[in-house]
C-alpha cells in the first residue's frame, strides 16, 4: 500500500525549525506517511497557502490559527498541539518600588509590549486591560517592541527588549509570558527582589496544527496517530521534543483561543 502524502507548512522563525521537521519527516516515513515540509518566512503567507489548499496542514501560531479560521469562514480545521501549549498566562511586570500593585494601578502608565503581532505579549494582554476598563491610547500609553514582525511572537526578542526598558526606567510595566518570567527568574535575568508581578491575564492556549478546508478524515487520523506515538523516551524523538518544548503531542482544542479571538475583534486586527 502506498504511503499517504501530506504537505505541511511551518514558519522558519529560527534555524532549529529545519532540524525539528527533518526528525519528524524521517519518523513519519516509518509510519507510512510521506511528509513534505514547505517553509514560510511569516505566518501571513502560510495562512494564505493553507486557506487556498496549497498545503494540507500548518503548524500555526495562535494568531495564525485565528486568522485561518476567519479567512476560511470557519472551514479550516484543527489538529494536535503540544502539551505545553495549553493553559498559559501572560504577566505584567513592574519595579517593586513603583507602587503598582494591580491592573487598576496601570492607569496612566506607559506599558511595554512585545511585537505588534504577538498574541502573548500584546494582543491578549491588551484584551485583558480592555476587560478591566483600560483602553490603549486613552487610559495608558502603549509602547511595542517590534522584533521580527510577521512571526507572531515566535521568539522572545520583543519581550526581552521590553524588560530591558523596564529595568532602565523607560517604561512603567512590561509584558511577557509567565513561562519567560519563571525562566528569567531562575537564570538571574530577573531579580524578584526588584521586579514583581502586578497582574496576570487569564488562561489561553498557544500553537496548534490547522488543517486546510476539506482535508480528508483518513489523512488527518493518520497524521494524528503518528504524532500521538512520538515518545519522549526515544532519543531521536526527545531531541525534536526538547527543541520544540514539549513532552507529548495532545489533541487540540479551540476553547483556549477565546481570549485571542476577542482581542482580534476588539483591535480589528485583520
Determine the longest span between alpha carbons in the chain, in angstroms. 68
Tell whether 132 and 151 lie within a shared domain.
Answer: yes
Residue 1 has pLDDT above 60, yes or no: no
* Rounded Cα distance, 231 and 164, in Å: 38
Tell whether 117 and 142 lie within a shared domain.
Answer: yes
Q: C-alpha grid cell for residue 214?
A: 476539506
CB atoms near residue 97 (< 10 Å): 8
Tell whether 147 and 225 lie within a shared domain.
Answer: no
Q: Of the candidates 182, 200, 218, which is a domain's last residue?
A: 200
pLDDT band at 210 (very low <50, low <70, confident <90, very high): very high
Please give the pLDDT value at position 15: 87
* Rounded Cα distance, 255 and 201, in Å: 16
What's the mean pLDDT in 73-85? Answer: 97
Q: Which residues contact 164 (CB under 8 A, 6 or more apart)?
A: none
pLDDT digits 0-9 by tens, 222-259: 999 999 999 999 998 999 999 999 999 999 999 999 99
Q: How many domains does the chain have?
A: 2
pLDDT digits 0-9 by tens, 35-72: 999 999 999 999 999 999 999 999 999 999 999 999 99
Length of the chain, in residues:
270
Alpha-carbon torsion angle 166, 167, 168, 172, nearest 10: 30
Tell whether 262 and 216 lie within a shared domain.
Answer: yes
Task: Report DSSP letters for 40-87, one per residue.
Answer: ESSHHHHHHHHHTTSSSEEEE-HHHHHHHHHHTTT--EE-EEEGGGSS
Tell whether 176 and 117 lie within a shared domain.
Answer: yes
Q: Of the candidates 200, 224, 257, which is a domain's last residue?
A: 200
Q: C-alpha grid cell for residue 98?
A: 513603583
Phi, psi of 184 (to 5 degrees): -70, -30
Tell whether 62 and 155 lie within a shared domain.
Answer: no
Tell whether 77 and 61 lie within a shared domain.
Answer: yes
pLDDT band at 2 (very low <50, low <70, confident <90, very high): low
Query: Which CATH number belongs to the domain containing residue 80 in this structure?
Result: 3.40.190.10
Alpha-carbon torsion angle 78, 84, 85, 87, nearest 10: 120
Q: Of the candidates 200, 222, 248, which is a domain's last residue?
A: 200
Alpha carbon of 145 to those of 24, 81, 191: distances in Å? 33, 28, 22
Q: HSE on the CB side for 128, CA within 13 Å? A: 22
Tell whether 80 and 150 lie within a shared domain.
Answer: no
Please give the pLDDT value at position 187: 96
- 45 is in which domain, residue-wise? 4-85+205-267
Give the three-class secondary structure for 248. coil
**Over pLDDT 90: what percentage of the chain?**
91
Tell whether 220 and 151 lie within a shared domain.
Answer: no
Tell whether 60 and 131 lie within a shared domain.
Answer: no
Residue 220 has pLDDT above 90, yes or no: yes
Amino acid at each position: 500500500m502506498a504511503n499517504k502524502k501530506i504537505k505541511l507548512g511551518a514558519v522558519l522563525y529560527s534555524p532549529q525549525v529545519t532540524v525539528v521537521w527533518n526528525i519528524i519527516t524521517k519518523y513519519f516515513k516509518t509510519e507510512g506517511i510521506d511528509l513534505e515540509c514547505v517553509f514560510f518566512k511569516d505566518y501571513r503567507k502560510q495562512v494564505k497557502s493553507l486557506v487556498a489548499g496549497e498545503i494540507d496542514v500548518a503548524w500555526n501560531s495562535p494568531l495564525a490559527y485565528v486568522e485561518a479560521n476567519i479567512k476560511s469562514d470557519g472551514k479550516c480545521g484543527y489538529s494536535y498541539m503540544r502539551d505545553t501549549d495549553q493553559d498559559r498566562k501572560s504577566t505584567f511586570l513592574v519595579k517593586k518600588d513603583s507602587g503598582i500593585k494591580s491592573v487598576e494601578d496601570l492607569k496612566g502608565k506607559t506599558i511595554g509590549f512585545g511585537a505588534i503581532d504577538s498574541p502573548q505579549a500584546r494582543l491578549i494582554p491588551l484584551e485583558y486591560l480592555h476587560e478591566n476598563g483600560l483602553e490603549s491610547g486613552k487610559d495608558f500609553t502603549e509602547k511595542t517592541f517590534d522584533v521580527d514582525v510577521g512571526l507572531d511572537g515566535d521568539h522572545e526578542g520583543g519581550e526581552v527588549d521590553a524588560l530591558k526598558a523596564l529595568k532602565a526606567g523607560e517604561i512603567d510595566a512590561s509584558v511577557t509570558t509567565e513561562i519567560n518570567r519563571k525562566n528569567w527568574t531562575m537564570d538571574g535575568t530577573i531579580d524578584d527582589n526588584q521586579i514583581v508581578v502586578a497582574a496576570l491575564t487569564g488562561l489561553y492556549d498557544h500553537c496548534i496544527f490547522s488543517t486546510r478546508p476539506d482535508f480528508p478524515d483518513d489523512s488527518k487520523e493518520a497524521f494524528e496517530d503518528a504524532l500521538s506515538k512520538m515518545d519522549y523516551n526515544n532519543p531521536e524523538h526527545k531531541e525534536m521534543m526538547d527543541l520544540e518544548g514539549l513532552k507529548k503531542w495532545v489533541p487540540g482544542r479551540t476553547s483556549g483561543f477565546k481570549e485571542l479571538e476577542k482581542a482580534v475583534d476588539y483591535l480589528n486586527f485583520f
